Amino acid sequence: MRKSSVFLVVAILLLIAGCGSGGSSGKEINPLNYVDPMIGTGFHGHTYPGAVVPFGRVQLSPDTRLNGWDACSGYHYSDSTIYGFSHTHLSGTGIGDMGDVLFLPYTGAIPETPVAVFSHSNEESRPGYYRVQLSPWDVKCEMTATLRTGWHRYTFPGDQDAGLLIDLAHILQSTWGNKVLEASLKVIDNKTIEGYRLTSGWAAYDPIWFRAEFNTPFEVSRLEVDGQNSQNQSSAQGTEIRVWLSFSQLSQSLEAKVAISAVDEAGPRNNMMEVASLKNFDQVSEAAKTQWENTLSSIQIKSTDEEVLKNFYTALYHAHLAPMVFSDADGRYLGMDQKIYKSQHGEAYTVFSLWDTFRAWYPLMTILEPQKARQWVYTLYEGSRQGGVLPKWPLCGSYTGTMVGYPAVALMADAMSKGLLDSIPDKLIESAVQSATWQPQWHEKVKGTRAEGAMPEHIKFKEQDGMVPVDKVPESVSWGLEMAYYDWCLAQMATSRNMQEMASEWTKKGQYYRHYFDSSVGFMRGKMSDGSWYADFNPYFSSHMKSEYVEGNAWQWTPFVPHDVTGLRALMGGAEAMGVWMDTLFTTSSVVEGENASGDITGLIGQYAHGNEPSHHVAYMYNYTDRPFRTAEVVDTILYNFYQPTPEGIIGNEDCGQMSSWYVLSAMGFYQMAPGAPLYDLGRPIVDEARIKTGDGWFTVKAHNNSRQNKYVEKVLLNGKELMGLQFSHDAIKAGGVLEFFMTSRPGK
C-alpha cells in the first residue's frame, strides 16, 4: 500500500537456515492458544490488537496514536497513552481512516486532558477479546464484539464516580486531511444514546450511525458542540460533538453494547436485534471465542516449534479480519454510488485491499472460505454496476482508487478458474472488460478525486499505444506490467466461456509486458513516447510516487510477470540466465538509492523486498530456472527470519491479510504463482503436517524428515504417486487426499 513516510530497513540475510528444533510429528493443538494479536502492532505491521470476529463489521480497539504512517490502525506498540476505544479500524494498511465513535472511561471530575496511560503488563489481547487497565483512573476495560456490535465492560473503583466520554470528533489522520463533515447525537433515555457522523478521508464519503445501550442509568454531565457547551442536554447537531456521561459510584461493572451501520439511524437498531439472545459481556466473549476456534480449526497443523505455531495461527487470524461485512442485518448497505441497496448474493462487504490480497490472501480463501470467496466477487461486481467500473480498494462505499491497475479482475479470474461462480459469468466478464478499457467519460467525472485512480490515463495509453510511456504518466512500468497480468486474467475468463476472439485479444495484451524489457541491461525499464528507452536508468533507484516504479525499483519490478514466467525466462536468455539474474537479485547490495526512496521497501534480501507485495511470488520463480532448489532456500530464509512472534514480527505492512497469507501457504509448502491459473508451485514446508478442511473432507500435507537442516525437497508424492513436475492443481486440494514432501539436507533436482 501507499505510505506517507520514507523509511528503509536493510536486512542482508544469508540464504542458509540456522539451527532450530527438529521435526517430529508434533501434536494436535488448540489454535486459539497460539494466536497473539499483538504480533504486527510494532515496527510497520500496522495491525490492531482489539476485539473482532471473523470478517466483522466492528473492530473495537484502543487508539494510541492519531497521526502519521504508524497510526494507520490507530495503535502502535511503542505508545503508552490511550485516547479511547473506537469501533472501526483497518488492519495492516499503509493509509489510515475510520476510528469511529470513541469511548473513554474515567473517574471523578471531567478530565482536562482526556488521555489515559497504560502499560503492556496490564494489557491482554486474544481472538475476540481485549483488556487493558487505564491510569490514572484505575479502570479495568474489557472489549469483545459480534458481527455488527462492539461490547464494552468497564470495572471502576467502587469509591469513585464513574464517567464516560463519547467522542464523535475523534479522527485518525487529521494531518492527512481526514475530517468530520457533520455529526449529531440524541439521548433516547437514561440508558440509550444514538448518534451519527459523516467523515471524509481516504473514504471520501463515510457515514456511520450508532446506538449505545448501557446496563445502568446515566446522567449527561456535559454536552459539547463545536467547542461550546450546549444548553440542550438531550440532542445536538454540528461538526465536533462530545458528550460526558456520569454513572455515579457503581457496585457492578458498567456494560455497553454499541451497534453501527452505514445505512441510516434504523440500521443500528436492526443490528442490535440480531444479538438479543446474548445477555451479557461474558456470553458475547464466549461466542466470539467459539467463532474464532471454528474458523482457525480449518487448518490443523503439527509442529514441535512453538514459534512456528504462533506465527502460523496468528497469520491465519490476521487473514480473517478483512474484508469486513458491510450490509446490515436486513441486507441493506451503502453502494459505490452512495445509494442504499439490498444485497442480492448474501452479505455485502467492504475493505478490499485488492492490489495486495489478490496474490496470496484470495487464493488461500478459495481453499478455506470458498463460499465467501464467491460472495466477494459478486460484491465487487455489484460495485461496478453501482459506480461504473470495478472497485479498486473500495472503502465504505467509496472508490479510493488506491494502487495499480484493476486487480478485482484477478479475483474474478481465480474464482472462475476454480469453479466457484455459479451465475452471471458473462456479466462478470463484461464488467472486467469495462474496467480494463479506457472510459474517458468516467475519468472526467471523477478527475481530481481519489476515484480517478480507478480509471487513470495509464489505461488509455495501454489501449492506445500498447505501452505506458514514462514521459506521460508516473509509475509507467509498474502499471504496464500489472495491466499485462490483469489482461491475461481477462483472457482466461474469456477462454473459460469459449469466447475465442475475445480471449485472443486479451492474450495479446497480456504480452505487453515485453515492451518494457531491455535486454541490454536485463531489466524492465521506462520507455518514452517515441519508443526510445528512458535514459536515466538506475535499478537501485527509488522515488516514491515519482518514478517508473510503484513502491520499488527495477530490481523488484522486473520479475513481475507471474502469468508468463517462461516468457520472461526466454527474454532473459533461458533457464540458466534467469537463475543467474535471480541469484544476483538475492545477493546484490541492499542499498536502495534516492532521497525519496519508498518506505515500503522493507524485508530485504539483496534487492528482494518481502515487506511489499510485488516481490511475493519471486522466490517461487526459481522453480523455472536451472536451480529450483533455491526456492526452498529462499522460502526457508523468509519464513524463519521475516516472521517472528513479537510485536515487531511482521516485516512490512500486513495489508489486510496478504503478508500473513503468504506465510500460511508457504509454511505448508506451496504457493499460487498466478491467480487465474489454478496451479500451486511447490516450496519448502516448515510444518510437519497440515490438515486443511475442504468441504466434507480434508487435504493433508505431510513433511517427512522435516527439520531446520532438512530444508530441501527430495521428492513429492500426491496420493501415493510421485509428482514429476513442481506444481499441482487446485482440484487436487478440493478432492482431498495427501501431499507428501520427503525432506533432505542436500539440494536435489
Q: Are 449 and 392 in contact, with CB atoms under 8 Å apart? A: no
Cell of 488: 491475461
Q: List, for residues 485-529, the tens digit of each pLDDT value.
A: 999 999 999 999 999 999 999 999 999 999 999 999 999 999 999
Q: List, for residues 212-249, the tens digit of each pLDDT value.
A: 999 999 999 999 999 999 989 999 999 999 999 999 99
Listed in sequence order, the residues at least 6 apart from 121 whose beta carbon sits closer than 8 Å to its beta carbon are: none
For residues 105 and 114, give the distance between their C-alpha atoms in angstroms, rounded to a whole number: 9
Whole-model pTM over 0.75: yes
Does the pLDDT at position 390 exceed 60? yes
Q: What is the DSSP letter of 511?
A: T
Does the pLDDT at position 7 exceed 80? no
Closest CA to 92 of 353, 301, 290: 353
pLDDT of residue 695: 85
Give the relative orientation of helices 281-296 and 306-318 as an angle to the nearest 10 degrees: 110
For residues 32 and 219, give the distance between their C-alpha atoms in angstroms, rounded to a whole number: 40
H helices of 166-210, in order, are: none
Percent of the chain residues past pLDDT 90, beyond the cut:
94
Q: Are 458 and 479 in contact, with CB atoms under 8 Å apart? A: yes
Q: Are 223 and 243 in contact, with CB atoms under 8 Å apart? A: yes
Does the pLDDT at position 282 exceed 90? yes
Does the pLDDT at position 15 exceed 70? no
Task: Give the residue-averaged pLDDT of 119-125.
Answer: 98
For residues 687 and 668, give the distance between their C-alpha atoms in angstroms, rounded to a whole number: 6
Question: How many Cβ atoms sit within 10 Å of the Cβ of residue 474?
Answer: 18
pLDDT of residue 452: 97
Q: What is the DSSP letter of 534?
A: P
492: enclosing H helix or E strand: helix 476-496
Strand partners, 259: 149, 211
Q: Are 604 and 11 in contact, with CB atoms under 8 Å apart? A: yes
Check whether the bond before 323 is cis (ω within 30° of 0). Answer: yes
Task: Give the residue-averaged pLDDT of 8-28.
Answer: 38
Instruction: Give the pLDDT band (50/70/90) at residue 13.
Output: very low
Write phi, then psi, for 49 (nearest 5 degrees). -100, 0
Helices (H) and strands (E) in the chain, counts: 18, 39
pLDDT of residue 28: 65
Return the exposure string of 638-653: e unless at least 16 CB atoms fall within 10 Å of the residue's CB, then b: bbbbbbbbbbebbbbb
- End-to-end CA separation in angstroms for the chain: 37
pLDDT of residue 6: 32
pLDDT of residue 3: 37
112: enclosing H helix or E strand: none
Q: List, for residues 71-119, the tens digit of each pLDDT value.
A: 999 999 999 999 999 999 999 999 999 999 999 999 999 999 999 999 9
For residues 566 and 636, give the distance between their C-alpha atoms in angstroms, rounded to a whole number: 24
Closest CA to 123 of 241, 38, 2, 32: 38
Instruction: Give the pLDDT band (50/70/90) at residue 27.
Output: low
Task: Give the residue-averaged pLDDT of 588-616.
Answer: 96
Q: Residues 633-636: contacts with CB within 8 Å, 24+ apart?
A: 633/15, 633/16, 633/17, 633/684, 633/711, 633/712, 634/15, 634/586, 634/605, 634/608, 635/666, 635/683, 635/684, 636/17, 636/684, 636/686, 636/711
pLDDT of residue 548: 96
Q: List, for residues 703-731, the tens digit of each pLDDT value.
A: 999 999 999 999 999 999 999 999 999 99
Q: List, for residues 430-489, the tens digit of each pLDDT value.
A: 999 999 999 999 999 999 999 999 999 999 999 999 999 999 999 999 999 999 999 999
